[in-house]
Structure 1
């Protein structure tokens, strides 16, 4: 589901960018480490600020970013022009990274979700796709909005989200585990249980 105009304005402003840079990315780095040359994919890149941080703050050598909103793709490409040699931004669906990016199984060292999965009606299939494209040992960095936040009257009144089958923090973590994405202690909630942040690692069957 695409964001409405009000939510687009809410996430494309200096306050949201400051939260991403000084809180979310710092915690994600603390929990999962930097990429330092790794290849990453970002689902739902919006205006591209998260993609910029993945390159500049987390050290990715290349990032493929998708977004379902053509307007956001244009904005992201404009923002990321100076990183055009390492970033590819395409119009596409998080449920079909093969179609959007030609992404093969196990083709990325890391995947990023900056509060996108809760917008997807079939969110479990989005997690399937993340697990598919991560190599064994690859990391899934996520920041998500839980059902606790989405049930609040302010959220329901101002923003558009799917209304059925939303996830609590524990449910999201359990679904990651079912897909071989191991979280362990690398997660935290903030603003009560409204938001969830963490890093999961793709199980490596060859590891001892």
Structure 2
């Protein structure tokens, strides 16, 4: 992210939108987590999303990964009160084993608060999410689509990968390609933004 987007992401209006609109939508689509669930947030930034995962979604613990060491330090300060319920690591969402030692099926939930559209190899990131999810686990996502990134405001102010951007349909199709079942999703503002929840099926039993 450049300075403009970093400032926006950490602004009070952005956090209000996340807390008062996006989180309630995701809770309506996927519910709170099963007690004892350990969750993962990819692109955890300054830790506000991980705090919501703990407090609003009821995670027993959360692991957060981010490429920017400065963001990891900020997240560490914000989340220090949660002690060993939180583990943070610098690294890429496209290689969670290297960043966190994430085993196959290690997480009951994975959260994406507008990070996948920043990743050039976003398809690989989705594959890592699917790998890291436990059977019955859920992927909560809030994304920005190619439609939004093509708008003049986004082009002028922010920096994003210029190739292989995804539409809402392409993102959902990629989830299906990796074996995830989309439970519910919606787009808003002319398909600029996509929110939803997908589940990793339990062998022989469908999704949770």
TM-score range, shorter chain: over 0.9
Alignment-derived partner of residue 101 in structure 1: 100
> Normalised by the size of structure 2, how large is the TM-score?
0.96
RMSD: 0.9
Question: How far, CA to CA, are the matches of 1:84 and 1:67 in structure 2?
Answer: 19
Question: How far, CA to CA, are the matches of 1:91 and 1:130 in structure 2?
Answer: 17
Alignment-derived partner of residue 25 in structure 2: 27
Matches within 5 A, 1:37-76: 37-76=36-75
Deviations 1:1-58 (A, max 9, x none): xx00010001001111111111111110100010133110010001100000000111
| Equivalences, count | 205
Q: Which moved more, 1:142-151 or 1:77-86?
A: 77-86
Question: How far, CA to CA, are the matches of 1:143 and 1:189 in structure 2?
Answer: 10
Moved over 3 A (4+): none
Alignment-derived partner of residue 170 in structure 1: 169
Deviations 1:85-125 (A, max 9, x none): 20111111101111111110001000000000000000000
Question: How far, CA to CA, are the matches of 2:50 and 2:36 in structure 1?
Answer: 14
Aligned residue for 1:85, secondary structure, equals helix
Question: How far, CA to CA, are the matches of 2:102 and 2:180 in structure 1?
Answer: 18
Alignment-derived partner of residue 124 in structure 2: 125
The runs of 5 or more residues in structure 2 that have no matched partner are: none
The runs of 5 or more residues in structure 1 that have no matched partner are: none
> Normalised by the size of structure 1, how large is the TM-score?
0.96
